[in-house]
Every structure is written in structure tokens, then in C-alpha cells.
Structure 1
Amino acid sequence: MSAQPPYPPPYPEANQPPAGPVAGSVLERFVARFIDGLIVVIPVAIVMGIVLAVLGLWDNLLGTLLYMVLIGVAYFAYYVHFETSRGATIGKQVMKLRTVGAAGGNPTTEEVLKRNIFNATYFVGWVPILGILANLAAFVGMIAIAVTISSDPLGRGWHDKFAGGTRVIKVG
């Protein structure tokens, strides 16, 4: 009769993370996303503020619509450009993180768009009631991402799984 170990292993064998890169933590990923948000929103807000003021659209629905759509387009363009070409946004580079596509290497445009789909709420954020619901959905989505990153042995959030298995790993 062999003795059983006093504690079970940290992961069931089927879910044992592979040897290799370590996943970025929720906090590291949050800080990277915050940095990226500042990089995208501040320049867009300045430019749009000037444009909307010149056009006299600063405080009306059309101006708000233009602002929200431009923010949404800027977010998607920023993430697609940096993650497909470098594997990391500026925020991820600062935090020494990298996004890896399902096949290894940099993620594809489709993977980046899928894993950032929750940013689409910027396109409807201007609609009075729908905007509130969209922002609430985005908030719930961010909580779900944090929970799923924390509970997945490979550190993947639901958005990583939705994108086909992308990962955010530590580098350097």
C-alpha cells in the first residue's frame, strides 16, 4: 500500500499549464490596458474637442456620436496595429507583456478584433438608454475577463478563448 500525498497537486493533470512562458497577471494586464486607454483617448479627445468646437457640435448629439465612433475606431486601429505587428501595445510593452496568437507568434487581425470586441460599446455609448446598457455590459465583461484570467491555468480570459486561444505572457 502506497501513501497518498497530503495535498493534491495545484492543477489536475489535464489542465497542467505547459512549461514555458508565464501568463501576465490580471493587475499587469489592467495597468497595460489603462496605459493604452490614455494613449488612445487623450489625443482623440484633444483633436475631437478642437474639431467639434470649430464645427459648433461640441454639445449636441451629432458631436457626441462622432466622438464615440472615433474613439471606438481608434481603439480597434491601435490594438490591431500594435498587436499584429509587434505582438504588444505600448501599454503591454511598458508592462513587459506580449499577446501571442493561437498559432504562436503575433495574433492575426481577426484574433485581435475578437479579443477586443467589448470595446465596440464605444459605438453605441452615445445612445441615451442603449449607451447605458452597453457601458454596463462592458463593465460586466471586464469583470468576467478578470475572473476568467484568474481562474484559468493558462491565464486566458473569456476574450482570449473567444479569439481562438490567444494568450498574454510575460517577456524579458
Structure 2
Amino acid sequence: MVFCGKCGKDNPMGAKFCENCGATLEAAPVYQQPQTTYASGNWLSHEHAGFLPRLIAWIIDAIIFGVIGWIVSIPFGTNYGYGYGMGYESGFNLGGVGTIITALISLAYFVYFDGMKGATIGKKVMKLKVIGTNGAMPIGPGPGVIRWIIKIIPILNLVAYIWILFDAQKQGLHDKIANTFVVKE
């Protein structure tokens, strides 16, 4: 309906003149939904993070997971206690269980922080964000899982980070496959 500002009558949509008083009707302004992607919020214009800040972020996350892995693995008798009454000597070794639990915690950590929040603890410390190549942030769980899978395969992880040194957009192999960038805040 189109409202007449002169007499107050509602007129059919598209009417040029009021049916009641004949006044010229002005079209209501068209409402446009604001963009909600971070592309409009300027994430794509941020500088891409290079090798060194990303390496430092990775080291921070690796330290976090070294401690978590050690704590989780102790009850299962892994090589952390080898020679001290735990591990192979005592015949008690379920270390694979601790490894699986640590891997699942790692998956949850990276998918949640990279995929749903845009940055792991290491990236937050280094003031970095993970965004989609289309500017979307957060990237979502799918790209988060893809990035994690590349990182847990040792040779691919090495290639992924070395790739950053030679790529014009500073994307690692895991970034290219998951369609993501890491940018500075």
C-alpha cells in the first residue's frame, strides 16, 4: 500500500495519484538489506599475514597442544613416562587412546577457533584472523576441518607453511584448498 501524505488514505501499490483526494503519491523508498559479510566490513582490504607471524602463532598453538597432549596421554601410559614405571616396561601402554583423544581435542580446537571464531589463541596473540577468500568471517566448520586435515599430515603441514613464503597472496597450501586467507587485524 502507498500512503497519501495529504489525506491519509492507503492506496494500492504502484498508484501515482491518491484515489481519495487526487494528490500525487511519492513512491516509498526501497529498503535495502545491509550487507552482513565481512567483505563489506573491509576484511579483504587487510594486509595478508606473512610467514613469520603465522609461524609464531603456530608455535603458540603447538605449545598449547604439547601440554594438552602430555596431560591427556599420561593416564594411558605413553612414552612420556618411559623408564619411570610407566610405558613399555610396566606392560601398560594404551598411548594410542591418548593420541586419539588429543587429535579429537585438536580437531575441536581448530574447527571452533579458526572456523567459528576466526582465530586460534596463537593467532589472537599475533593479531591475525582467518577469513574466506570472499571476505566471509567466520569461515565456518567445513573450511576449518579442511585446514586442520592439511595441518595434521606432517609433510603437507611443512609444504603448507613453506608455500606461504613463495605465494603472492601469502596463502599456505591449507589456505588455498580451504579458500581462506590469514590477515592482520
In the superposition, the TM-score normalised over structure 1's length comes to 0.67
1:19-168 → structure 2 map (5 Å cutoff): 20-49=45-74, 51-53=75-77, 58-59=87-88, 63-103=94-134, 104-121=136-153, 138=154, 140-163=155-178, 165-168=179-182
Bigger Cα Rg: 2
Asked whether the 8 Å contact 2:72–2:98 carries over to 1, the reply is: no
Q: Which runs of 5+ in 2 are unaligned?
A: 1-43, 78-84
How many percent of aligned residue pairs carry the same amino acid?
Answer: 27
Q: Which runs of 5+ in 1 are unaligned?
A: 1-18, 122-137
Superposition RMSD on alpha carbons, in Å? 2.3
Q: Aligned equivalents of 2:52 and 2:157: distance in 1? A: 13
For 1:142, the aligned partner's letter is N
In the superposition, the TM-score normalised over structure 2's length comes to 0.63
For 2:175, the aligned partner's letter is D
Asked whether the 8 Å contact 1:41–1:71 carries over to 2, the reply is: no
| CA pair 102-62 structure 1, distance change in 2 beyond 3 A | farther
Q: Aligned equivalents of 2:70 and 2:49: distance in 1? A: 30
Asked whether the 8 Å contact 1:101–1:108 carries over to 2, the reply is: no
1:47 CA displacement: 3.4
Q: Deviations over 1:115-137 (max 9, x none)?
A: 1213444xxxxxxxxxxxxxxxx
Q: Deviations over 1:57-114 (max 9, x none)?
A: 7436852211221221121111111123320000000011111123421111110111
Q: Aligned equivalents of 1:84 and 1:141: distance in 2? A: 20
Higher-helix-fraction structure: 1
SS at match of 2:118: coil
**Quick one: higher RCO (CA 8 Å, sep 6+), 1 or 2?**
1
SS at match of 1:99: strand
